[in-house]
Amino acid sequence: MTNDADLSIEPLDVIAVGAHPDDVEIGCGGTVARLVEQGYRVGIVDLTDGEPTPASPGPEVRAAEAAEAARLLGVHHRTTLDLTNRMLFDNWDSRLALAKEFRRWRPRMVLALGDRTPMASPDHWQAVQITEAAVFYSRLTKWDERFDHLPPHKIDSLVFYSLNFYSLEPPPQGNSFVMDISSTYEKKIASIRAYATQFPPEKQHIFARLDAMAHYFGEAAGFERGERLASPRAVGVRDLMGLV
């Protein structure tokens, strides 16, 4: 049995997953906008609504900020799961909720948090584990009743982004590469600034750090600005001359 109503949904090529609204924008917003620019259908799934936070008046305001950020990036769909900020844990219910989104939207690629963030939200580390598990659960057969009879879907690739801005070490997964975001960097920054409640005057230093990192990663790869991503698989090449 399949859910024909959900099969009628036009699939997304890519889904980017964050623990909170603004994670995707900060970690890989330039990549998301670049994929949209290249003609791919891209969506964002926030595992929680990110609330409460110190400067936000409530979830409705944060949701409006997230909607505006999505508009600025050009994404085709954004959804927030009914999981709890500050209490996010890798468990059966959270894995199942995200796997249902993958089965419903059938992406070819998932962009996911790839590392813990010491001294910051522990939700990020839980999101790493939830997303990896959901990618696996998305393709499981003979368990249809657990996924509302949404058909199994095999995701072709998983790519990690990072919010760990204080470490000098490369991502723990290895296999890192740089995405050229020269044409979409300003969209990335605009989407982050859409979260006015999250970036009051005392947190404006984040923008200088993001600019420095974008220049550093971009110049390392021969671009004006870039975002460092990582793959759990080695990045293979078929056209060496095209690569270099």
pLDDT digits (tens, 9 = 90+) for 154-179: 999 999 999 988 888 777 778 999 99
In the chain, the amino acid numbered 140 is L
pLDDT at 165: 84
Q: How many CB atoms lie within 10 A of CB 173?
A: 17
Closest among 102, 100, 127, 123 to 113, alpha carbons compared: 127
pLDDT exceeds cutoff 50 at 132: yes
pLDDT exceeds cutoff 70 at 3: no
Domain ranges of the chain: 10-243
Instruction: Give burial (CB, 10 Å; 0-12/13-18/19+) of 240.
Output: exposed
| Mean of pLDDT values over 212-227 | 97
Tallying the residues shown for the chain, one arrives at 244
Residue 56 phi, psi dihedral angles, 5° rounding: -95, 135
On average, the pLDDT of the chain sits at 94
Q: DSSP state, 144?
A: G
In the chain, pLDDT over 70 holds for what percent of residues? 97
What is the band of 242 on the pLDDT scale with cuts at 50, 70, 90? confident
What is the band of 244 on the pLDDT scale with cuts at 50, 70, 90? confident
Structure-derived torsion over alpha carbons of residues 233, 159, 45, 184, reported in degrees to the nearest 10: -160
| Mean of pLDDT values over 13-24 | 98
pLDDT at 63: 98
Q: Which helix (H) or strand (E) holds 217?
A: helix 205-221
Closest among 66, 31, 62, 5 to 225, alpha carbons compared: 31
| Mean of pLDDT values over 215-243 | 94
pLDDT at 6: 54
Interatomic CA distance for residues 219 and 222, integer angstroms: 5
CB 14 within 8 A of CB 33: no
pLDDT digits (tens, 9 = 90+) for 85-94: 999 999 999 9
Interatomic CA distance for residues 180 and 38, integer angstroms: 12
Instruction: Give burial (CB, 10 Å; 0-12/13-18/19+) of 185.
Output: buried
pLDDT exceeds cutoff 90 at 84: yes
Classify domain 10-243 at the CATH topology level: Rossmann fold (3.40.50)
What is the band of 5 on the pLDDT scale with cuts at 50, 70, 90? very low
pLDDT digits (tens, 9 = 90+) for 183-209: 999 999 999 999 999 999 999 999 999
